Amino acid sequence: MADLFDKFEGLTNLRNSLVFENADPYQIVMEDVISPTEAMIDGKHTILAGTNNYMGLTFDQRCIDAAQNALVASGTGTTGSRVLNGTYSAHRELEATIADLYGTAHAMVFSTGFLANLGMISTLAGKDDIIMIDADSHASIYDGCGLSDATITRFRHNDAADLDKRLGRLNAGRRVLVIIEGLYSMLGDKAPLADIVAACKKHDAYLMVDEAHSLGPYGANGQGVAADEGVLDQVDFIVGTFSKSVGTVGGFCASNHPDFEILRLASRPYMFSASLPPSVVASATAAIKIIKDDRTPQQNLWRNAEQLHTGLTEMGYQLGAECSPVIAVLIEDRDVAVRSWEQLLGEGIYVNLALPPATPQNTNLLRCSLSAAHTPDQIDKILAAFEKVKKSNSVNQS
Ligand SMILES: Cc1ncc(COP(=O)(O)O)c(C=O)c1O
């Protein structure tokens, strides 16, 4: 009998072809999480240099207190959809906090960032519409497209001229939704927002920007790359997540579109999934207020990013992009990448091992991401481990 799992043979072979000696990069268990930047892994004290905890807020007392109070006051969960019994005053307050951050009339909270993309994209773009996405888009953007009935086109990564050309080829009168990310999570490269906005305006296309990795690090109030580039008011839909800088879980979309509220009754991933629990809503609200009002975490994050980026560059490592909170070390040979990842872990440093097909341009990456909570001493330790690995492997030496 044919087996439903036959289709995974290729993936199984790929998985089995990864040779590692001591640690499986995809079976890491954080046995004890000590702080935003430290955990016990396999009994060893480890510096975390591969989380998305950009603002370092997961242990912030203000967020913990807010979550604890909400947990005690309102219980462990809402047990219902936002459109039935799952909207508490706190959900509305969180949406008002997001709308305030972006200066928009509306904001809608989803239960994850993945669901925000599914819920927005699949609902906004219908049968007669066109979606144009950056080729390096996150899986949730691709899956949102898959769930919509629209025609999907990809343009070359971060290439506003290619977008302009493709938009120019469309018949007048077609409704187009262009989707990009503010900061791309694998290589840490930023979108050329001003040029993309110009192309969208020229061709009357709507623009959605997913600020998943840029909410927090970028912008005078941490809103993201669109704000940093001064084009926030020209973006139609800002999507984001609470699972990175906000330090919990959940997702959102903010917009000024006058009919935005109807989406609450049209978006199936919004309607047919239980709303976020009160504790999560409370810590997200507290974290977003900190991101908006307190510049210290953002400054510390950039100090750390620059220290690591400069240090790795000086060692001769090839990096994915200019300095950003995501610093990807490119390793040509896959086996060397796996071995280097294991060696780093052996040195007490956890980074993300990212391999094709999950990476752009078939690159093998040791993906580092920084936190405001890293100390300069921790960054020195990360650099020392990379130095040691480089010496023993001669990785990436030109
Ligand atoms: C660009 C982008 N969008 C959306 C998501 C999904 O966010 P969440 O973890 O909240 O589901 C991610 C998460 O990795 C992401 O990188």
Cα gap 133→142, rounded to integer Å: 8
The CATH number of the structural domain formed by 61-293 is 3.40.640.10
Q: Is the pLDDT of residue 237 over 70?
A: yes
How confident is the model over 247-285, as pLDDT tens digits? 999 999 999 999 999 999 999 999 999 999 999 999 999
Chain position carrying tokens 């994209």: 121
Bridge-partner residues for 327, per DSSP?
368
- Grouping H, G, I as helix, E, B as strand and the rest as coil, residue 137 is coil
Cα–chain center distance at 107: 19
Q: Is 17 a catalytic residue?
A: no
Domain layout of the chain by residue ranges: 19-48+295-393, 61-293
Cα gap 191→163, rounded to integer Å: 13
Q: Determine the atom of ligand 1 nearest the C-alpha atom of 117.
A: 4
Give the pLDDT mean for 12-35. 91
Q: Is 244 a catalytic residue?
A: yes
Q: Is 324 a catalytic residue?
A: no
Q: Is 396 left (phi over 0), alpha (psi -120 to 50) or beta?
A: left
pLDDT of residue 15: 87
CB of residue 137 inside a 6 A radius of ligand 1: no
CB of residue 51 inside a 6 A radius of ligand 1: no
CB of residue 211 inside a 6 A radius of ligand 1: no
- In this prediction the pTM is 0.96
Element (H, E) at 237: strand 237-241
pLDDT of residue 162: 98
Please name the residues in contact with 81: beta carbons below 8 A apart, sequence gap of 6 or more: 271, 272, 273, 274, 275
How confident is the model over 375-391, as pLDDT tens digits? 999 999 999 999 999 99
| Fold for the domain defined by 19-48+295-393 | Aspartate Aminotransferase, domain 1 (3.90.1150)
Q: At what angle do helices 160-168 and 193-202 cross, to 10 degrees?
A: 10
CB of residue 114 inside a 6 A radius of ligand 1: yes
